[in-house]
Homo-oligomer: A and B are copies of this chain.
Amino acid sequence: MIDSGETVLVVEDEAPMRKFLRAALSTHGFAVTEAATIAAAEHLATETRPAAILLDLGLPDGDGLVFLAHLRGWSTTPVIVLSARDREDDKVSALDAGADDYLTKPFSVGELLARIRVALRHARATVTTDEPVRAIGPIRIDLARHEVTVDAQDIHLTPIEFRLLCALARQPGRVLTHRQLLTEVWGPNAVEQTHYLRVHMAAMRRKVEKDPARPQWLLTEAGVGYRLRDA
């Protein structure tokens, strides 16, 4: 499947536990990012926009509940707390602080995965306050709908074209090297195939640009890469 699963952020200070969770999650189709501290977790939560977060409460640089409180200020991403503490108070305070679930260590992998699925089910049904629509000039990219419009006109992009455009749109105005684009869209084994880029950029220009021979938005940086002009 090309649809590489959704990303789960694991916040946990003990390395063996992190490794264990990474193994369990990735064999079930999730992408995994890891953080060992609150600081790292806050950074990754904003950067990678995970679909769900697994949170250990005992972290070296502070209480996990602090992180949770911060997060709930701007995000509704589901959070499942993993803790060795089994006291009622701990559970209640975590749940009331905004956690969506609370699992006591040790737990079984099957249950964890099932509860993650529940969390993702909820997230999908939730009115997402995040705006996953990006607009650059006349181009509008709706990540959630997998939909692109130019001057309010729907245009159809193939999966590769869509991923290419998303990669460029993530940092509008900035040049992305051939290498960066190739690894992001085709994977790290294709970093040499720069002609893939040429062909697919041409195809995309035909759909997006008014005059594909004189592109206004999908610009070539000779010898370096491509960039999407910032509006």
Contact = CB atoms under 8 A, between A and B. Distances in A.
Contacts of A110: 88-89, 91-92
A63 interface: no
Count the copies.
Answer: 2
Nearest to A184: B121
Contact of A117 (B115, B188, B227): B188
Interface in A95-153: 95-96, 99-101, 108, 110-111, 113-115, 117-118, 122, 124-127, 144-147
A29 B179 CA distance: 10
Contact of A175 (B96, B147, B173, B192): B147
Interface in A1-33: 1-3, 5, 29
A216 interface: no
Interface residues of A, number: 52
A178 B1 contact: yes
Contacts of A174: 144-146
Contacts of A223: 2, 158-159
B125 A179 contact: no
A90 to B, nearest CB: 10
Contacts of A183: 117
Contact of A125 (B127, B144, B227): B127
A121 to B, nearest CB: 8
Contacts of A118: 95, 99-101
Nearest to A156: B221
A76 to B, nearest CB: 7
A177 interface: yes
A95 B114 contact: yes
Contacts of A225: 146
A117 B222 CA distance: 26
Interface in A163-211: 170, 173-175, 177-180, 183, 188, 191-192
Interface of A: 1-3, 5, 29, 76, 88-89, 91-92, 95-96, 99-101, 108, 110-111, 113-115, 117-118, 122, 124-127, 144-147, 158-159, 170, 173-175, 177-180, 183, 188, 191-192, 221-225, 227
